[in-house]
Amino acid sequence: MANKNLTNAKRAKNDEFYTQFGDIQKEIGAYLDLNPDVFRDNVVYCNCDDPFESNFFRYFVLNFNKLGLKQLITTSYKPSPIANTELVLQPSLLPDYEDKVVSKPAGPKGRPKVTANKFIINEVRDIDGDGEFNLKDVAKQLKANKHNEWTPLEGDGDFRSDECVNLLKQSDIVVTNPPFSLFREYVKQIFDYNKKFVIIGNKNSVTYKEIFPLIKENKLWSGKTEWSGGLWFVTMDNGDVDRVIGGVNMKNVSSVWFTNLDHGRRHQPLPLMTMEENLKYSKHKEIKGKKAYDKYDNYDAIEVPFTDAIPSDYSGVMGVPISFLDKYNPEQFEIVGMAEDNGKGFSGGIWDGKNPHCVINEQNKFKRIFIKHKKVKK
């Protein structure tokens, strides 16, 4: 059943997106800015990443020494839709490529079946003497079979399989873009094994009953990259393309980074106006000129439809959009809960027990998170 579910997930349109190198570099850089040794002497595991195609593998192998990694492990699910098309780690440079990667008999349409791969990198250096370290050096070290390991996995690379779980147990930090349709299971697994992580997920996943409690308890939070605009991915779906850049099909997806590694933006205070100032000067027509903020019919809280309209001097509970989490500073705010339509008991005792949605004048509002100031500014 697990393999069937994963197969269906990999076929799902929203699962077939490939992360850009620049986005990875920018996100990881934020953790290094706060703590340059955050990855030092740690084992990084990219467990949803074919090393032939993954920019996660490319980033960490090219920065292996700079980050001070102890080990880099990469595993993939088979077959890869874009195998050997994304990176310059050419198969011809690798040892016994046909024997390791290609298995007989041929698959559909006469194509050879491609196995799931495992790379374990223990050392990287300028092996060809050209004065710089690059992917060709990695390939040559793999070909010489010294210090590093490349082998096909026995199974299909399902991150829940025994062999992938065993690799997870050996790791310290997991960094990848997991299948969105399996996000709940993926997050549960990394918490079950108490791992540090930097991963990508859909914005709306913050409302999942399996995910929101982790956010409320400050066990999972937003990464450095801001939520606005989503993320741009390489897509293999020619019928669903938002932009073509350099001949590459790109898709904009409503997705964000999630982590339990600290970064500086998480501790930046959100500048706010008082309630009186908002009602008088707010740039939002929904706020400016009103006599007071709206109150919910069924929750003991006021409605704040924009994060920048949070009044600095209000001591009660406020309902804010889920995008608030992009600006959430745990020293400035307390997350009280979320509307009961997301999970029983989520509201933290402020619900009247009737309609579980946030309602104003008998009209349901969008998803809301309930927050309070930790210290009210007068």
C-alpha span between 178 and 211 (Å, rounded): 15
Distances (CA, A) of 119 to 58, 95, 374: 12, 13, 46
More confidently predicted of 90 and 324 = 324
274-308: per-residue pLDDT in tens?
999 999 999 999 999 999 999 999 999 999 999 99
The mean pLDDT value for 167-186 works out to: 95
Does residue 127 surpass a pLDDT of 70?
Answer: no
Q: Where are the domains of the chain?
A: 2-266, 270-373
C-alpha span between 62 and 49 (Å, rounded): 15
Tokens of 109: 């349409």
pLDDT band of residue 325 (cuts 50, 70, 90) is: very high
The mean pLDDT value for 351-373 works out to: 92
Per-residue pLDDT, 87: 43
H helices of 35-111, where?
Answer: 55-62, 64-67, 97-101
pLDDT band of residue 85 (cuts 50, 70, 90) is: very low
C-alpha span between 50 and 80 (Å, rounded): 7
C-alpha span between 66 and 71 (Å, rounded): 13
C-alpha span between 292 and 284 (Å, rounded): 14
Q: Are 51 and 86 in contact (CB under 8 A)?
A: no
104-123: per-residue pLDDT in tens?
344 444 333 457 888 899 98
C-alpha span between 67 and 175 (Å, rounded): 14
Does residue 244 surpass a pLDDT of 70?
Answer: yes
pTM of the model: 0.84
Q: What is the mean pLDDT of the chain?
A: 84
Per-residue pLDDT, 100: 45
Per-residue pLDDT, 146: 67
Highest mean pLDDT of the ranges 8-17, 107-116, 120-129, 319-328: 319-328
12-58: per-residue pLDDT in tens?
444 556 788 899 999 999 999 999 999 999 999 999 887 777 889 98
Nearest partner of 71 among 61, 62, 80, 79, judged by Cα: 61
H helices of the chain, where?
Answer: 2-11, 21-34, 55-62, 64-67, 97-101, 135-144, 162-170, 183-192, 212-216, 275-281
pLDDT band of residue 60 (cuts 50, 70, 90) is: very high
